């Protein structure tokens, strides 16, 4: 592992290094460790006033995160960094920019004439805050992955050689400690992104054996985009991807806000559940549908301005017991729900085309919410795979 040069001579930070090595095993979160490390460095005699840790993460929405501590804080602040930051002035010419370009150290004397120093808003802000010296180093994780750590002081004359040596000595151990926590957070984030938060928690807790699962009573929602084959055949690929992402945002955000969990995207469709362990699950599902309908109307209005045809969809909703767990081959598993209740929701989504109502509910579901929402009775209809006709309701809210 490459780290800034240092040696094994005693330094002011030896006690902090020992704490990082032996005293942090029960702490899950790197931001808590980072704040405690900074406080301990101060207590060891290093005149630390401000410190930041910048890490790149694998997330669909964020490029990375910044953990910031300053004097007097007992907890560090975390801010997320979006993918567009590298084109903005806050990044261009910054220490992070220099590190990405290969620098092994950025040191700036903030006491000297600003005209002689580096030109970036960050340095002006630190001077205005009374800081006198700033140093930034890469923090190396395995396989050469580089993150960034910075330290600043308000001591007259800045950091001396003993302070710099002590700070450098912390870096290799902090790299190991932070990598473990970041990878744990990364595993959780990726699972939440690809299988949902509840399923992710179960998988991390050890629910990984094929065939294992639980029975859950839930409201089930299946949504499908209309005429997607025609759209994908006639539109440019990038336009189709953008359209799908906008459509899924319109549908998915309300589901998440109201306590639902999207288990999978299936082409241009999605499967979501609202477990009935939440007393208002069925009502929350219809609230989510109402907001999704409004979001789709707004999306269609925006698309109309670019000459795109309006997007239509069908939603089938049912309630019942589902098997929630691991299904698949010996080497590839899917954490999902199966059962007659899921099949019913799927059949109702298909019937929306025939009946001409975009949202259809089964009677079993309607009975749980009919006092709270205005539903339209559309009669009994045969449902493929079920022996008796099913009484259906439309939701137009």
Here the tokens at position 330 are: 């010996």
C-alpha–C-alpha distance, residues 190 and 196, integer Å: 9
Q: Angle 161-195/197-204 helices, nearest 10 degrees? A: 110
Quote the CA–CA distance of 36 and 28 in Å, as a whole number.
Answer: 13
Q: 176: left (phi > 0), else alpha (psi -120 to 50), else beta? A: alpha
Can you count the helices (H) and strands (E) in the chain? 11, 14
The top-level CATH class assigned to 14-194 is alpha beta
3-state class of 184 per DSSP?
A: helix
Q: What pLDDT is recorded for position 371?
A: 81
The alpha-carbon radius of gyration of the chain (Å, integer) is: 28
Count of other CB atoms within 10 angstroms of residue 349:
24
Fold of 196-395: Alpha-Beta Plaits (3.30.70)
Tell me the pTM. 0.62
DSSP-based three-state secondary structure for 297: helix
d(CA 362, CA 352): 12
Which token pair is 151? Answer: 């330290």
Helix (H, G, I), strand (E, B) or coil at 105: coil
pLDDT tens digits for 281-339? 999 999 999 999 999 999 999 888 777 778 899 999 999 998 877 777 777 666 677 88
Dist. CA 321–CA 324, nearest whole Å: 9
Please give the sequence-ordered ranges of beta strands (E in DSSP) within 190-349, or none if there are none. Answer: 213-225, 261-266, 269-275, 313-328, 333-338
Contact at 8 Å (CB) between 219 and 247?
A: no
What is the reported pLDDT for 180?
86
Q: What is the DSSP letter of 131?
A: -
Regions of the chain short of the pLDDT cut 70: 1-7, 58-62, 184-213, 332-335
Taking the C-alpha atoms of residue 260 and residue 336, their distance in angstroms, rounded to an integer, is 14
Taking the C-alpha atoms of residue 130 and residue 111, their distance in angstroms, rounded to an integer, is 9
- Fold agreement (14-194, 196-395): no
Rounded Cα distance, 91 and 94, in Å: 5
Quote the CA–CA distance of 43 and 139 in Å, as a whole number: 23
User: What's residue 1's pLDDT?
Assistant: 39
What residue segments make up the domains of the chain, in order of their start?
A: 14-194, 196-395
What digits encode the pLDDT tens for the residues 197-224? Answer: 666 666 655 556 666 667 889 999 999 9
Q: Could you report how far apart the first and last alpha carbons of the chain are, in Å?
A: 59
């Amino acid at each position: 592992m490459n780290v800034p040069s240092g040696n094994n001579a005693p330094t002011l930070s030896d006690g902090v290094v020992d704490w990082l090595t032996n005293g942090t095993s029960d702490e899950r979160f790197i931001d808590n460790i980072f704040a405690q490390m900074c406080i301990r460095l101060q207590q060891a005699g290093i005149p630390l006033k401000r410190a930041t840790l910048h890490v790149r993460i694998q997330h669909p929405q964020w490029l990375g995160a910044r953990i910031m501590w300053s004097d007097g804080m007992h907890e560090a602040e975390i801010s997320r960094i979006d993918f567009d930051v590298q084109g903005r002035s806050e990044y261009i010419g910054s220490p992070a920019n220099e590190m990405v370009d290969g620098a092994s150290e950025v040191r700036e004397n903030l006491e000297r004439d600003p005209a002689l120093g580096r030109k970036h808003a960050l340095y002006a802000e630190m001077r205005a805050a009374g800081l006198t010296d700033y140093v930034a180093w890469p923090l190396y994780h395995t396989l050469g992955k580089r993150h960034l750590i910075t330290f600043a002081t308000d001591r007259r004359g800045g950091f001396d050689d003993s302070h710099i040596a002590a700070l450098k000595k912390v870096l290799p151990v902090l790299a190991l400690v932070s990598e473990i926590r970041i990878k744990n957070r990364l595993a959780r984030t990726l699972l939440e992104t690809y299988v949902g938060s509840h399923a992710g928690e179960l998988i991390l807790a050890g629910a990984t054996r094929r065939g294992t699962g639980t029975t859950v009573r839930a409201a089930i929602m299946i949504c499908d985009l209309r005429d997607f084959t025609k759209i994908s055949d006639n539109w440019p690929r990038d336009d189709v991807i953008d359209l799908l992402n906008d459509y899924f945002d319109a549908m998915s955000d309300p589901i998440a806000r109201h306590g639902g969990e999207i288990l999978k995207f299936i082409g241009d469709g999605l499967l979501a559940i609202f477990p009935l362990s939440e007393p208002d699950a069925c009502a929350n599902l219809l609230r989510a549908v109402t907001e999704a309908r409004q979001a789709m109307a707004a999306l269609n209005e925006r698309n109309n301005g670019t000459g795109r045809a309006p997007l239509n969809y069908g939603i089938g909703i049912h309630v019942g017991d589902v098997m929630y767990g691991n299904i698949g081959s010996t080497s590839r598993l899917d954490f999902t729900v199966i059962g007659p209740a899921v099949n019913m929701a799927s059949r109702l989504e298909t019937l929306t085309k025939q009946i001409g109502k975009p949202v259809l509910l089964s009677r079993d579901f309607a009975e749980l919410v009919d006092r709270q929402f205005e539903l339209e009775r559309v009669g009994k209809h045969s449902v493929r795979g079920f022996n008796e006709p099913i009484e259906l309701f439309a939701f137009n809210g």
